[in-house]
Structure 1
């Protein structure tokens, strides 16, 4: 069964500390992810290893509800969240690196192995995820650079 592996990156003309603090706070996700409608903390913020959040998203015409758990956090460098519930186990990794004159190179990496019908549709899902994630990072860049 095919998996999904989408890596997208952008350059944000803001310091790493600013980009990582904003993008690395799951509570901000609905502000820059077009498909994420809400995030509810199961554990108290701020984000830390072991933090759990319920996400509600709409993707390819379907409502998806899932819980992410933070499995790795290196403040200002890397955040890894993972979910194993539902038909589409997923791991999402954010990385932030300084890039010249106070800018940040941010990467967003989504990996998963859908099961059932979602597994059959994995190539279509991967393409749709790549388009959506590219737009999400463009939205994040515009949002952060306008402040």
Structure 2
């Protein structure tokens, strides 16, 4: 399953990417994320490892990730290395547009076993949440 959504933010590309690529900001704009623990402090880079804790269906779930690619000021990709849905990749990219920056986020998930049966429902719910999270990101970065 692949989902993709975009939003335009009235801020410069460098500012948007700096905020977007810092996993410490995830709880501020991703509704289900309650905590992110990083393995090493410092600026984001390829090879970073971190654990995202989400709250869903009244429970907490932890998923470890590794940042598999990082192009400063342009794009990055994070791959789950475990957790309840271990086969997922999150792609984030920014590009300059008139008046600001377009942020595009995409997720690729390989559902297995009984989760495949739920894929149509998951796709609809995850697509809605992806869009809501990007709208929140826009509000947070624009300060509105």
CA RMSD after TM alignment = 1.4
Cα deviation, residue 60, structure 1: 4.5
Report if aligned partners of 1:40, 1:53 keep a CA contact under 8 Å in 2. yes
Q: Which consecutive residues of structure 1, in runs of 5 or more, have no partner in the other structure?
A: none
Pair 1:138-2:143 in alignment: no
* Cα separation, 1, equivalents of 2:57 and 2:98: 37
> Structure 2-normalised TM-score?
0.93
Aligned to 2:16: 19
Deviates more, 1:115-124 or 1:87-96: 115-124
Pair 1:69-2:66 in alignment: yes
Deviates more, 1:111-120 or 1:68-77: 111-120
Q: Return the match for 2:98 from 94, 100, 122.
A: 100
Aligned to 1:42: 39
Q: Return the match for 1:113 from 104, 110, 115.
A: 110
Pair 1:91-2:89 in alignment: yes
Q: Return the match for 2:50 from 53, 62, 70.
A: 53
Report if aligned partners of 2:6, 2:104 keep a CA contact under 8 Å in 1. yes
> What number of residue pairs does the alignment pair up?
143
Task: String of CA shifts for 1:5-63, please: whole Å, max 9, x gaps.
Answer: 11000000000001000011000000000010100002333211110000001235443
Helix, strand or coil at the partner of 1:22: helix
* Cα separation, 1, equivalents of 2:75 and 2:56: 25
Helix, strand or coil at the partner of 1:98: strand
Structure 1 runs of 4+ with >4 Å offset: none
Aligned to 2:121: 124
> Structure 1-normalised TM-score?
0.91
Report if aligned partners of 2:21, 2:76 keep a CA contact under 8 Å in 1. yes
* Cα separation, 2, equivalents of 1:42 and 1:98: 31
Report if aligned partners of 2:61, 2:84 keep a CA contact under 8 Å in 1. no
